[in-house]
Amino acid sequence: MTTSIAEKVPVTVLTGFLGSGKTTLLNRILTEQHGLRIAVIENEFGEIGIDDALVIDAEEEVFEMNNGCICCTVRGDLIRILGTLMRRKDKFDHILIETTGLADPAPVAQTFFMDDEIGSQLRLDGIITLVDAAHLLQHLDEEKSEGVENEALEQIAFADRIVLNKTDLVDTEQLAEVRRRISEINRLADVHETVQAKVDLGAVLDVGGFDLSRALDLDPAFLEDTEHQHDLTVTSVGIEFAGELDIERLNEWLGELLSAKGVDIFRSKGILAVRGMPERYVFQGVHMLFDGTQGEPWGEAERVNRVVFIGRHLDRAALEAGLRGCLAAPVPAA
């Protein structure tokens, strides 16, 4: 039995390059009063999952997929989770899928057209692409080996709506250039300029239908199950150890590391235990820009540091030695 369009549950795919603001927008969606019950499927690139701690505690159900990229290796997991959700359709009104920053959204979108059972009960409402105004040009202009996709470009090409975020980090001229490049790739998607992904949620949650005919114009093989090639030179290093860090050493080390290697380190993030701080220290970096904020109190939980770096030419041993070098001196016995 097929379901009419009006009864199908809408699905929003939230995509955008590493650090563009997807989790920031997701958290806004989960906190704002919109009356919708939303199920969230989250896919993260990185050896250690950090986002579970960064997504606010909401009543909504959040499903994690951390064993690979949603657009290829874990597509089976996506289909399985969607299957579980379809059996409990009365429990929510909307499904939101946050892809990794390196995903090609096209294979994720395909799922809703190629799998009959899914297509009969769910409908792709739209692909929303977050764009980092400060780093887009750098990502678009990166040299890629032959046959390797530029994910930042694919994400814009397939977008139904574009949230042009982090406009506070660029001047008017840079912003105009970013807009020009976006419109060269995709003339049809509405572009919403934002700071901290503050966008009218109606504009992103109620797009009204993914444009399949445009997707087919962009890629005539859109509905065929073709292989696509990730940029395998981008990898991740996850580091995890217990102990307390010295905040001054940490800031100095991170500052030096990211100013020297910030072109290659696309994204860094972590939950850290800092000496003298009862709360978790949440560290976020995008290329050379980084900041730290206070997270949840540790309470009785073991104080463990978890950090992930995503980028090129990552030197695991040096990163781990550097972070361990920030450990605070042992407290002398009384």
Ligand X SMILES: Nc1nc2c(ncn2[C@@H]2O[C@H](COP(=O)(O)OP(=O)(O)OP(=O)(O)O)[C@@H](O)[C@H]2O)c(=O)[nH]1
The C-alpha atoms of residue 174 and residue 172 are separated, in whole angstroms, by 6
Nearer to ligand X, 166 or 306 (CB): 166
CB of 303 to ligand X, least distance (A): 22
Is 21 a residue that touches ligand X (CB under 6 A)? yes
Q: Which of 13, 18, 40, 272 binds ligand X (CB under 6 A)?
A: 18
CB of 333 to ligand X, least distance (A): 39
Q: What residues are paired with 304 via a beta bridge? A: 242
CA dihedral 200, 205, 206, 207 (to 10 degrees): 90
CB of 8 to ligand X, least distance (A): 27
Q: What residues are paired with 308 via a beta bridge? A: 238, 269
Is 284 a residue that touches ligand X (CB under 6 A)? yes
Q: Could you tell me the two tokens for 49?
A: 């999952």
Q: Which of 109, 271, 286, 319 binds ligand X (CB under 6 A)?
A: 286
Q: Which of 12, 23, 150, 186 binds ligand X (CB under 6 A)?
A: 23
- Cβ neighbours, 10 Å, residue 316: 14
Is 52 a residue that touches ligand X (CB under 6 A)? no
- Give the interface size with ligand X as a residue count (CB under 6 A): 21
Q: Which stretch binds ligand X (CB under 6 A): 22-30, 148-156, 178-186, 317-325?
A: 22-30
The C-alpha atoms of residue 137 and residue 17 are separated, in whole angstroms, by 12
Nearer to ligand X, 24 or 111 (CB): 24
- Cβ neighbours, 10 Å, residue 6: 6
CB of 163 to ligand X, least distance (A): 10
143 — phi, psi (to 5°)? -70, 135
CB of 196 to ligand X, least distance (A): 4
Nearer to ligand X, 191 or 327 (CB): 191
Q: Which of residues 58-117 bind ligand X (CB under 6 A)?
A: 101
CB of 105 to ligand X, least distance (A): 13
**Residue whose C-alpha is closest to residue 189's, from 212, 209, 159:** 159
CB of 147 to ligand X, least distance (A): 24
SS (H, E, C) 101-160: CCCCHHHHHHHHHHCHHHHHHEEEEEEEEEEECCCHHHHHCCCCCCCCCCHHHHHHHCCC
The C-alpha atoms of residue 75 and residue 182 are separated, in whole angstroms, by 28
Site string (235-274) toward ligand X, x via CB under 6 A: --------------------------------x-------
Max intra-chain CA distance, the chain = 73
Cβ 25 vs Cβ 204: under 8 Å: yes
Measured at the alpha carbon of residue 66, what is the angle toward residues 60 and 191, in degrees to the nearest 5? 65
Q: Which of residues 149-208 bind ligand X (CB under 6 A)?
A: 165-166, 168-169, 195-197
Q: Which of 15, 20, 150, 155 binds ligand X (CB under 6 A)?
A: 20
CB of 54 to ligand X, least distance (A): 6
The total number of residues written for the chain in this structure = 334
DSSP state letters, 80-91? HHHHHHHHTGGG
Nearer to ligand X, 23 or 111 (CB): 23
Q: Which residues bind ligand X (CB under 6 A)?
A: 16, 18-24, 101, 130, 165-166, 168-169, 195-197, 267, 284, 286, 291
